[in-house]
């Protein structure tokens, strides 16, 4: 729509023979630089402590980032709690008894091999040298240049240490949790008692974890502070393998249902030498990021390792007693462990698109960048825009905005050329733009613009909130699949 009002044909769509148009009108080249730039430009994610020069690999989420990541977590909770009745929630403390990390094996085993370079003073993951670049120019792999002088690898524990108590010397050493899972195991008995569940059943948790990663990077893919979405599913031991396969399929489906293209998603089983000490089988859900196939989520068969270890270290019995059969056993555990930040990055990357459209009212082609996010994930579902800021349009637009925001996350945007406002909403992934024009004042209808198809239709203001809610929750398939 141009400032002049609605036109009979859809002016947003540029004909394929327009100058510069590509055959399919879109671009498939998504680089991490483009993603980082969009996230900063539109207020999704900022480098943390930027005014002080930043702090290594920590990020702050801005308004749209908070809404998007919140929706990712909400969809995870929905799949874990709302759509089934065998999983309960928990929110355990970040600071836990230090013995937790002894029992879990993190105190001795949660290490990465670290090598220092005596020449440049940089530190590297000794097992990733071939993927890393040394800081010197021309850049080479660490240890490759003649002047490099790498130390032998030594184990470096990834847990952040802190002190409980006001005085460092007399306080107790504690650790910021490196995963949320242990907070679930140590509450097994509490949950069993109060949730009235019997295996198979699960306990789910979302929360912050902290790892002093040696080589963080690739934006929010690997950071030192991040959010995890983990669920421990306790099963009778003979059923473990069956439930492991079940959760692999279930978790892959979750990403696809939220719009991730199937050809950008795969399951990769860990080789025997990759398996953690506790795991008899692990598979990763991997996504084809701009940096290549990388882990999105790990799904592990942890056996009875965790409950047995915590029982041993705490002296508490952590087992299930079946009153019906008189059977007593330590359940085995299947764990789907996902990262909320990494999943958010995958959804942004998968949604990122560029296409050629017509600049409103000019006939000139311009590239539009947009996030084709699943409407349920989109930070803002509907933007309400008065076409011009006069003639009673802003007043009616405010009325519409107040009516719809009770139903869906909405935004009022009153200023600037309509084309620029559309582009802004496209870049944050808003699936619907509601435009109020002169006709709206006469017949109480508005135009509803679809982010993906750019189709515009006139719909009544009456019942608009309900209609938007219906559309946001309708089945959706990414147009990037064609």
The reply on whether position 298 binds ligand ATP by CB under 6 A is yes
The reply on whether position 295 binds ligand ATP by CB under 6 A is yes
Of 156 and 412, nearer to ligand ATP (C-beta) is 156
Give the x-and-dash track for 307-346 against ligand ATP (CB under 6 A). Answer: ------------------------------xxx-xx----
The reply on whether position 222 binds ligand ATP by CB under 6 A is yes
Q: How far is the CB of 235 from ligand ATP (least distance, A)?
A: 19
Near ligand ATP by CB under 6 A, which window of 1-9, 222-230, 249-257, 370-378? Answer: 222-230
Q: How far is the CB of 18 from ligand ATP (least distance, A)?
A: 41
Of 228 and 456, nearer to ligand ATP (C-beta) is 228
Q: How far is the CB of 466 from ligand ATP (least distance, A)?
A: 36
Of 226 and 247, nearer to ligand ATP (C-beta) is 226
What is the footprint of ligand ATP within residues 170-189 (CB under 6 A)? 179
- Among 386, 385, 354, 418, smallest CA distance to 14 is for 354
Which residue has tokens 């790892």? Answer: 211
- Among 470, 430, 478, smallest CA distance to 451 is for 430
Q: How far is the CB of 213 from ligand ATP (least distance, A)?
A: 5
CA dist 29 and 49 (Å) reads 31
Planar angle of CA 218, 222, 226, nearest 5 degrees: 135
Helix (H) or strand (E) holding 266: strand 265-269
Of 223 and 430, nearer to ligand ATP (C-beta) is 223
The reply on whether position 266 binds ligand ATP by CB under 6 A is no
Spatial strand order in the sheet of 456-460: 410-412, 382-386, 432-436, 445-450, 456-460
Q: Is 267 exposed, middle or buried (0-12, 13-18, 19+ CB in 10 A)?
A: middle
What is the footprint of ligand ATP within residues 433-462 (CB under 6 A)? none
What is the footprint of ligand ATP within residues 5-64 (CB under 6 A)? none
Structure tokens at 188: 């097994």
Q: How far is the CB of 59 from ligand ATP (least distance, A)?
A: 10
Helix (H) or strand (E) holding 371: strand 365-371
The reply on whether position 211 binds ligand ATP by CB under 6 A is yes
SS3 255: helix
Interface with ligand ATP (CB under 6 A), residue total 16
Near ligand ATP by CB under 6 A, which window of 42-50, 294-302, 307-315, 360-368? Answer: 294-302
Say if residues 57 and 48 touch (Cβ distance below 8 Å).
Answer: no
- Among 304, 267, 301, 303, smallest CA distance to 286 is for 267
Q: How far is the CB of 260 from ligand ATP (least distance, A)?
A: 14
47: number of Cβ within 10 Å: 16
- Among 324, 379, 315, 307, smallest CA distance to 63 is for 379
The reply on whether position 228 binds ligand ATP by CB under 6 A is yes
Residues that bind ligand ATP (CB under 6 A): 179, 211, 213, 222-223, 226, 228, 295-298, 337-339, 341-342
């Amino acid at each position: 729509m141009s400032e002049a009002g609605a036109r009979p044909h859809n002016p947003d769509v540029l004909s394929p023979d327009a100058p510069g148009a590509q055959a399919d009108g879109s671009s498939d080249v998504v680089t991490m630089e483009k993603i980082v730039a969009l996230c900063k430009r539109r207020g999704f994610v900022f480098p943390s402590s930027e005014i002080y020069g930043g702090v290594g690999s920590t990020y702050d989420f801005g308004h749209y980032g908070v809404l998007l990541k919140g929706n990712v977590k909400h969809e995870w909770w929905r799949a874990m709690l709302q759509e089934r009745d065998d999983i309960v929630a928990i929110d355990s403390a970040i600071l836990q008894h230090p013995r937790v990390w002894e029992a879990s094996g993190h105190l001795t085993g949660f290490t990465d091999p670290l090598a220092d370079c005596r020449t440049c003073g940089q530190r590297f993951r000794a097992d990733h040298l071939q993927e890393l670049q040394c800081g010197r120019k021309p850049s080479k792999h660490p240890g490759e240049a003649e002047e490099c002088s790498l130390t032998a690898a030594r184990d470096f524990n990834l847990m952040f240490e802190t002190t409980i108590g006001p005085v460092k010397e007399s306080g107790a050493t504690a650790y910021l949790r490196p995963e949320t899972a242990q907070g679930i195991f140590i509450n097994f008995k509490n949950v069993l008692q109060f949730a009235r569940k019997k295996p198979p059943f699960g306990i789910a948790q979302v929360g912050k974890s902290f790892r002093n990663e040696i080589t963080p990077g690739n934006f929010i893919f690997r950071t030192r502070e991040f959010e995890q979405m983990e669920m421990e599913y306790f099963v009778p031991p003979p059923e473990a393998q069956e439930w492991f396969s079940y959760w692999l399929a279930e978790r892959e489906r979750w990403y696809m249902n939220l719009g991730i293209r199937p050809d950008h998603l795969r399951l990769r089983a860990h080789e025997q030498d990759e398996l953690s000490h506790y795991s008899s089988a692990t598979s990763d859900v991997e996504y084809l990021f701009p940096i290549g196939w990388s882990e999105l989520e790990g799904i592990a068969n942890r056996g009875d390792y965790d409950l047995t270890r915590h029982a041993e270290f705490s002296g508490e019995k952590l087992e299930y007693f079946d009153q019906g059969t008189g059977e007593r056993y330590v359940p085995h555990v299947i764990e789907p462990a996902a990262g909320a930040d990494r999943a958010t990055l995958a959804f942004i990357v998968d949604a990122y698109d560029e296409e050629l459209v017509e600049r409103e009212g000019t006939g000139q082609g311009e590239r539009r960048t947009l996030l084709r996010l699943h409407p349920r994930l989109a930070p803002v579902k509907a933007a309400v825009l008065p076409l011009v800021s006069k003639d009673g349009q802003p007043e009616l637009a405010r009325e519409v905005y107040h009516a719809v925001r009770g139903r869906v996350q909405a935004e009022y945007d009153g200023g600037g050329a309509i084309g620029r406002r559309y582009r802004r909403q496209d870049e944050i992934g808003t699936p619907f733009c509601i435009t109020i024009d002169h006709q709206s004042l006469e017949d109480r209808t508005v135009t509803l613009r679809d982010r993906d198809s750019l189709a515009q239709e006139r719909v009544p203001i009456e019942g608009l909130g309900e209609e938007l809610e219906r559309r946001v929750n309708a089945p959706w398939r990414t147009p990037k699949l064609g």
